[in-house]
Every structure is written in structure tokens, then in C-alpha cells.
Amino acid sequence: MNGLLLIDKPPGVTSFDVVRRVKRSFRVKKIGHLGTLDPFATGLLPLALGEATKLAQFLLEESKTYLAVLRLGAETDTQDVTGRITRESDSLPTPAEVRRAAASFVGEIEQVPPMYSAVHHQGERLYKLARRGETVAAAPRPAVVHCLEVMEVALPLATIRVECGKGTYIRTLAHDLGRALGCGAHLTALTRLAVGPFRLEEAVALEVIEKMEDRADLERRLIPLAQCLPRYQVVRVEPEEARRLTQGQTLPWPEQDAPAGANVRVVAEGTLVAVAAVRRQEAGQVLAPVRVFHRS
């Protein structure tokens, strides 16, 4: 059972809980998720099953899109609704001020990871330090916000739509936006709408998956390996060439329509056999295997 399963995650469960429940229901040996959602958050949680777990390194690079609701005028120690209020303000901004401040966060920014996060500090997770009441100055990290649209302002709430690169904390974005406005803010609701080319509308509810009694029903929900990287160019090869790639050998590839260093999908008889990198050597351009996949 190999492929991507798009789950519509409900609130109140961790991403690991979702993995565990699907694994238990269908006795899948290899399964992982592509990007953690906080327990209170909802929305798209792609699960990689079987050989699809090898695609994680490529899919985690994809941008993500969220719909977030912020409460202005209050900060919490977790930067979201699950935390304790640490600061409040009665002075709230106008909708125009919210939109102006939000626009300043588009592009390359820096974020200080929240204390309640899995980031390591001197060999220990920040959330473990936070639970002991310790606070440390974590180093800022770069993040990219491709788009930040203010959908609605109904004070004290503001709804925003964010498209961002990997490693961006939406909780921290809400916190920093509140600081920029001078009133403070925290996240009260979060829904992931998309991961790269995959959309929430394509996902299936966790409870629906758990009610399935036939593995064939689950398999019909899987996105096949060959379709999991739609942004990558497809290169079709013969079975013998596929065998060479899966054994770690390179293939001559004289075509010039993919730049050196680009990754491509290598498909044989409709099945993904490898993700390969385009490399230029003295003897000419070749495809070098990056990850190879067992054919079932």
C-alpha cells in the first residue's frame, strides 16, 4: 500500500494521533505525516504510506496555505488559544491599520520560534523547557511569507489567509503581527488549506477512513507515487533503464529542457521508479538517482 492519503484533520488530536489511528485501522507498517498541525488546528494533513515516505524530503519543501483567525488585544504564553493570557490591551487598531501591518510581513522575514515548539535548544526541545517554566532566547530563523491577505476584520478578531514556505510558524506570525500593531494578538483558529498542489477539498475526514472495512477502499483514496510530485517533469524510461537507476547507476539524458540540478520523476510502465537529479558531466548530461522506489 503505497501513496499519499489526504486527511482532513479534526480538532483535538495531534498529527501523530492521526498517523497512529490510520496505522492501527489498516495495519500499515510505514506511515508518516507531511508537516505537523497543532492539536487545536484543523485541515489538510497529507499522510505518506509505504514507499511514499521516501517522498517526504521533496514534499516538505512545498509551500503551505492556511486560514487563521487572530484575536487582537491579548497575548498568550503559547501564542495561541490554548495558552494563558500574559498581556492585554483595550486599544485596538482599525481595519486599515491591520491591513497595513499585515502587508509588512510579506516576503523574507525572521521568526523567533515559540517556546511551545519542537525546536531544539542545547539538545532539548523548547516545549519541555517551557513546561518546566523556563524561558530561553531562541535564535531567530528565516521564513518566507509568499502572500498574507486580510480576509475580514471584526474586532477583536481578524481573519487572514497565509501562503508561506516551510518552517513558518503561524502562531508566531499572529504574535508578531499583534506586536507590530501595539496591541498584542494570538491565534484562535487555524485551518490548513493546501500543501503544495494538494488541496483540503480533496481530503477525506479521519472518521470516514476509520469506518472503512476494506483495505481496497483505502487504496482507492491513495494518490499513486507517480502522481505525488506533479511539479516535477516526468521522464519515461524502459524497464532495463529503470533497473539501472534503481541499482544506483546514472542514465545518459541529452535533453536540455531541464536545468542542471533539477529533480525529475522517472517513470517506467506507469510506475515511479526514481526521483533523479539532472547533472552535467564531461561525457554529457545524465540522470542521477536521488531516491529509488521498490515496485510492488
Give the amino acid at 194: A
Q: What is the distance between the alpha carbons of residues 110 and 116, in angstroms, rounded to a whole number?
A: 18
Beta carbons within 8 Å of 150's beta carbon, 6+ residues apart: 95, 98, 99, 102, 158, 159, 160
- DSSP helix, strand, coil percent of the chain (3-state; round to 5): 25, 40, 35
Query: Cα dihedral sign for 28, 32, 34, 40?
Result: positive
* Count of beta carbons in the 10 Å neighbourhood of residue 34: 24
Query: Which one of the listed residues 38, 80, 217, 257 is annotated catalytic?
Result: 38
What is the DSSP code string of 92-143? Answer: ---HHHHHHHHHTTSEEEEEPPPSSS--EETTEEHHHHHHTT----PPPEEE
Rounded Cα distance, 151 and 148, in Å: 9
Q: Which three cell numbers stand for residue 206?
A: 479521519
Contact 42, 11 (CB under 8 A): yes
How many whole angstroms separate alpha carbon 122 and alpha carbon 157? 37
Residue 77 annotated among the catalytic residues of the structure? no
Best CA proximity match to 271, nearest among 227, 232, 220, 241: 227
Closest CA to 9 of 21, 27, 26: 21
Q: Which residues are catalytic?
A: 38
